[in-house]
Amino acid sequence: MAKAKVLASRYTFADPWLRLRSDSVLLPGGRLLSPCHIFEYPDWVDVIALTAELEVVLVDQYRHAVGQIRTEFPAGVVDDGEEPMAAIKRELLEETGYASEQWYLLGSAPVNPALQTNRIHCFLALEAHKVAEQDLDEGEAIRTHELPLSEFIEQVEVGSLELPALQLASLYLLQTCLRRLRF
């Protein structure tokens, strides 16, 4: 299949975390797609941080888009010029006060290739342990807690704990990794 050809491109919104681009695109076969709106976000990172006792480090925080306090993995944005591994180590420490010396990339994938340019990088941190107090960004209110991994997975599977879709993908990658290791 031939690639589409961008005929024109302009930015209609820009801030440090998001740029909205509107393109005019000539599709293979000659059809014109205009406007085609693209969200340019920085890459995102998340981590499944496990303590030595195999408890998952989780964060509860208010998510205004859905008007709820949500339980999630520690996560955040990769700053300009920052490597994903450095970003998630920073985010874990800032959001939870936890750190780890054992880090593994579980996987990386496009977030939503139909509309967005960014990727999510999913990590596993083993033997995570508390080393500091939280250092939250302005506007963040995060409660940290631990949950045994088996109980966490059970709660996700029965629907009593609802993760964001991208974090379900991280959990899938973890479970695939554990099966390969026969854990």
Over the stretch 57-102, which tens digit does the pLDDT of each residue have? 999 999 999 999 999 999 999 999 999 999 999 999 999 999 999 9
Average pLDDT, the chain: 95
Phi-psi region of 92 (alpha: psi -120 to 50; beta: other; left: phi over 0): alpha
Domain spans, the chain? 5-40, 44-180
Q: What is the torsion angle, in degrees rounded to the nearest 10, for the CA atoms of residue 174, residue 179, residue 180 and residue 183?
A: 90
Model confidence, pTM: 0.93
Query: pLDDT (tens digit, 9 = 90+) per residue, 21-67?
Result: 999 999 999 999 999 999 999 999 999 999 999 999 999 999 999 99
Q: Does domain 44-180 have CATH number 3.90.79.10?
A: yes
